[in-house]
């Protein structure tokens, strides 16, 4: 596999992981709104708006908006609708900016990896050419015999 293919695959894998996470969060946002709508129809305890907005904030904004439109839930609550709209627009701008930044940096990551590879190859080449030093063993003085210890 060529180096540029590796960079592309890493970017695609990261993008797919992020897309999967966002899909789960949007599903959670839709489900939370649907459950809150059912509870409202039955007169039961409801989810606080803060919790619904928090789910939207952490990536479930689109699912929350779709549920709001499809289920006609919390459409007259203007503070909620306004906050939800701000969250979704902010997320859209962030996703666009992140996509553009990653796409524009892909060639720089490839160049960095190629440069690091070249440095590693150069270091490996120098290491192979470098003479391996033998451990220094003192030579016995002339006329002195070396005694070998053969155990106790």
Domain positions in the chain: 3-128
Residue 66: pLDDT band with limits 50, 70, 90: confident
Instruction: Give 59's DSSP letter.
Output: I
pLDDT, mean of residues 31-53: 89
pLDDT for residue 135: 55
pLDDT for residue 129: 53
- For residues 149 and 85, the model is more confident at 85
Distances 58 to 22, 55, 69, 71, 86 between C-alpha atoms, Å? 9, 5, 20, 21, 13
pLDDT for residue 35: 92
Residue 134: pLDDT band with limits 50, 70, 90: low
């Amino acid at each position: 596999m060529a180096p540029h293919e590796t960079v592309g695959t890493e970017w695609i894998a990261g993008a797919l992981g992020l897309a999967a996470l966002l899909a789960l969060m949007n599903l959670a946002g839709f489900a939370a709104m649907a459950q809150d709508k059912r509870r409202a129809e039955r007169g039961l305890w409801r989810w606080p708006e803060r919790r619904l907005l928090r789910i939207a904030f952490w990536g479930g904004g689109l699912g929350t908006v779709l549920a709001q439109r499809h289920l006609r839930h919390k459409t007259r609550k203007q503070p909620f609708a306004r906050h939800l709209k701000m969250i979704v627009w902010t997320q859209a701008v962030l996703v666009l900016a992140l996509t553009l930044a990653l796409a524009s940096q892909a060639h720089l990551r490839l160049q960095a990896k190629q440069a690091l590879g070249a440095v590693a190859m150069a270091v490996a080449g120098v290491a192979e050419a470098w003479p391996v030093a033998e451990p220094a063993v003192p030579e016995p003085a002339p006329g002195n015999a070396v005694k070998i210890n053969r155990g106790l």
